[in-house]
Amino acid sequence: MNIKSLTAAEIKLRLAAKAIKIGYIAEALGCSSSHVSNTISRKTQSKRVAECVSRALDLPLTEVFGDVHSYFEDSPSRRATRLEHKNKIVNALREGLTIQL
């Protein structure tokens, strides 16, 4: 299978060609410019940021971040999993139970 994706440099060049700064994307999403940049560089993963970058480039997510498999998996988000884990621990502690994971 041939996975399509753009490199971080290609994404930044295409954004620059459209006069779209990383800071604009960050402001639109209410996050930091470094978070957007780290997502573009694949140092961190944020599907929300990746989708916004793809929209800014007017390209499908699969063509911009096709190499980031977690964006296309049909599984619960890591945040939801962490929240569920946290809730189990908090409830066990509140009820005076031993934490069983």
Spans of all domains in the chain = 8-73
Distance between CA atoms of residues 50 and 5, nearest Å: 12
pLDDT the model gives residue 85: 86
pLDDT higher than threshold 70 for residue 47: yes
pLDDT the model gives residue 1: 44
pLDDT higher than threshold 80 for residue 78: no
8 Å CB contact between 22 and 15:
yes
Distance between CA atoms of residues 43 and 40, nearest Å: 8
Output the pTM of the full model: 0.72
CA-nearest of 12, 43, 49, 45 to 27 is 49
Query: Across residues 81-86, what is the average pLDDT?
Result: 85
Averaged pLDDT of the chain = 90
Backbone angles phi, psi at 65, to 5 degrees: -125, 35
Q: Where is 13: in which H helix or E strand?
A: helix 8-17
Query: Across residues 23-45, what is the average pLDDT?
Result: 97
DSSP class of 65: B
**Percent of the chain whose pLDDT exceeds 90:** 68
